[in-house]
Structure 1
């Protein structure tokens, strides 16, 4: 095959992967603006309807590493086709759902689509020219972030023109087309990693996440000091510890705890966990806040479309600064850009917590949040790519995205608990619930900023290594001295 044909092939593959990632990302947030509508249509409560989002994130948190491992074992292309088919089936079931229980099950099936992340990163690693891998991974990572914001914007027009069922029919059709295109266009990678899936780890991961999320979701009604809530929290800690121990002993772990020990990896993943909590909480609760009838003493009586337009500045700013993050990282270092993005996000949550008088205040918060998150998400991808060997880029990037999803599922559940802990006679949350919730997220982003300082300065480390390499090439005796020093150190 000629170089031009090869290039066209991987560019076409990238288009298909981008469509699949965008469809998965849209489904993360497309339903968020219509949660109040689903609450009414499916005859449920606000705390229960939040599980429409949480079930999706929880399922994605579990299936993402499992499907990534299966793809490495039997072939990424065929597994990606299966993932997209499952995503389409879940979309059809959600479109036909007439009860909250069926809707939650459908969303859990859609969460299987989380496998798109490691599979796409793995295909890029296997099929793309080495110099194109980092850029392609960064673009897919940006699509995952921006697509979530666009879902909030597109929900209103779709519901107004059709109805909320089409929030699932349209992505279902797109995903079905992407599945066919994947089968026809994406080559099956010859790269295989023999091994097995650690089902014990998968069960333990599911168990501790479910125990934690049920506890924080039901605490307002059961009571934080109740036997059920305390028991579930204790169980989640014990199960999480057991999961970690199993992963450390496993030859083929779902989440590579050894890689997590790399300083640049675990610190960046900690930031990703906190960012996930902030992002998905905004997806779940800002539309509900601005849609609240002003007669409640707060809110803006916004329609679904208007709530999407209020969030639109976040999506635009996230895209623009996600693109700018690369050049900024090249000039100032990805760590500096990540810390700056985290810091910019703090005042946005502070505004959402306390400034409830005018739409422009919320719009300003959205701009700041888009700037911060756009800078940070791309910088995280760059740090991970720089921190691991090239053959681990896909695994490490997928793990970072998955940890962000886990943070999102935990953050959305905790936010639901805080916001719905006190309700007005109309069953709407009190304004103080949103103040406490968004204030909590401001504190979360402060922690993310502080955690960013723990990330090693890879730019400096890389420059020092390059200088040592050049010096050893010019003066070979230096390499011998260095080798002797290492041997001496080991002998001691």
Structure 2
């Protein structure tokens, strides 16, 4: 075993946490950005949308590029792009530059699938599950701790300082990855499917725009319907093209295997449930006391309500790995879905006291940690090592689509169920019901996944493709 193996997991997990943190850092800034940039609230929302769009495109494409050209090399380039994006935001107050910088930051979301594929290739088989669990959990950990950190820096320093922190953190992990992580052997020489990449990027941009901007434009408005229809039509043409390629961008035959397909659907529903928890908690506790249910907390205090959940996700990743090794990834994901659903039962029944709100949010975070840690292992049992980056990239993408759908649902509910200019308690209760139902759907799908060996096998030759 390489003497540099011990720090690899910690280094890669740090990179995943840093880029995941950038998903939520703009949430506390949204109320003040219209005044700072001289723009309308609908325009500043592009600072969130841009990150989701670029991340959704970069995650599967860079995962595939890493499998072909070297995962460490692609990861370093992704982190370099994050540094540039952070510097743009730190140095400017012009909205177009801020949106561009946020789009460049979103490219870093590919760090998680790239890190998972590096760990699978470099670590001994008995250590893979634990390392992958930690790496996968960074998506939730970074998102959970990002809000309180950003709120504190913005309130007590400045909003520009938050982006300087991001730039320094991204540069630090880039240098650490370059020092500690060896380059993995790329796959046999292949031609990158540029036309397939352009088609997939177009599908994802149309889909994510329809989901994220639907609450602003209206879900039945012509732009939303046109983008949704375009996503479906282009996806059909793209799928037809990919199935006939000898070296496709994404192997749809592998993606259609029950274990892979069902795991991706579970990721979609778990991502939906997780993000609803973060969004609703931060806003619920900030509602004024005059609403009859709000607590009137500050931005910093509301962010701290999510901190126990973020810490729980960090500490539970090793627990999830042990459970997965003993009982299998399928059992872990099913248990995680039950825990998430129970968390929303708590949220639905007890949303008036601060302690019960934090308890419910933390229970949901615990379930999310178990699910996020086990999902990559569930997929890796059905794919060859050479396609790990591609497959885990798609799984991460499905979580992001779920998060985008959750954000759109929450925005629509909170804007329609209003009393006295503020969302009613019924609006939050409806969000909890829908998110709890998503967890139940994840449970049903997890139980349908074919049973796999309890431990990951030693990587070997790629299996022959299975017929669709």
Q: Give your verdict on TM over 0.5.
A: yes
Greater shift in the superposed pair: 127-136 or 449-458: 127-136
Which residue does the alignment assign to 2:107? Answer: 112
Kindly provide the CA deviation profile for residues 160-204 of structure 1, in whole angstroms up to 9, marking residues without a partner as x: 432222222112101112223333443333434422333333333
Which residue does the alignment assign to 2:67? Answer: 72
Structure 1 unpaired stretches of 5+: 466-492
Which residue does the alignment assign to 1:402? Answer: 397
Alignment of 1:329-408 (within 5 A): 329-352=324-347, 355-408=350-403
Distance 1:218 1:235 in 2: 15
Aligned residues: 457
- TM-score, length basis structure 1: 0.83
Which residue does the alignment assign to 2:137? Answer: 142
Distance 1:50 1:432 in 2: 25
Distance 1:53 1:349 in 2: 26
Question: Any conservation in 2 of the 1:54–1:412 contact (CA below 8 Å)?
Answer: no
Greater shift in the superposed pair: 347-356 or 23-32: 347-356
Which residue does the alignment assign to 2:227? Answer: 232
Which residue does the alignment assign to 1:214? Answer: 209
Which residue does the alignment assign to 1:124? Answer: 119
Match for residue 430 of structure 2 among 426, 430, 436:
436
Looking at both structures, which has the greater relative contact order when contacts are Cα pairs under 8 Å and sequence separation is at least 6? Answer: 2
Alignment of 1:234-273 (within 5 A): 234-273=229-268
Structure 1 residue 44 displacement after superposition: 5.4
Higher helix share: 1
Distance 2:404 2:331 in 1: 27
Question: Any conservation in 2 of the 1:52–1:107 contact (CA below 8 Å)?
Answer: yes
Distance 2:175 2:217 in 1: 47
SS of residue matched to 2:305: helix
Structure 2 unpaired stretches of 5+: 458-468
- TM-score, length basis structure 2: 0.87
Which residue does the alignment assign to 1:152? Answer: 147
Distance 2:42 2:348 in 1: 20
Question: Any conservation in 2 of the 1:29–1:284 contact (CA below 8 Å)?
Answer: no
SS of residue matched to 1:187: coil
SS of residue matched to 1:420: helix
Question: Any conservation in 2 of the 1:52–1:104 contact (CA below 8 Å)?
Answer: yes
Question: Any conservation in 2 of the 1:213–1:413 contact (CA below 8 Å)?
Answer: no
Question: Any conservation in 2 of the 1:50–1:416 contact (CA below 8 Å)?
Answer: no
Question: Any conservation in 1 of the 2:320–2:370 contact (CA below 8 Å)?
Answer: yes
User: CA separation of 1:244/1:434 partners in 2, compared to 1, >3 Å: closer, same or farther?
Assistant: farther
Distance 2:357 2:235 in 1: 37
Match for residue 449 of structure 1 among 435, 443, 449:
443
Which residue does the alignment assign to 1:26? Answer: 21
Computed over aligned residues only, the root mean square deviation of the Cα atoms, in angstroms, reads 3.0
Question: Any conservation in 2 of the 1:121–1:137 contact (CA below 8 Å)?
Answer: yes
SS of residue matched to 2:306: helix
Which residue does the alignment assign to 1:276? Answer: 271
Kindly provide the CA deviation profile for residues 93-129 of structure 1, in whole angstroms up to 9, marking residues without a partner as x: 2223424443332211111112322332333344334
Question: Any conservation in 2 of the 1:60–1:114 contact (CA below 8 Å)?
Answer: yes
Distance 1:49 1:355 in 2: 34
Alignment of 1:79-90 (within 5 A): 79-90=74-85
Distance 1:279 1:167 in 2: 24
Structure 1 residue 292 displacement after superposition: 2.6
Greater shift in the superposed pair: 249-258 or 163-172: 249-258
Larger radius of gyration: 1
Distance 1:219 1:399 in 2: 23
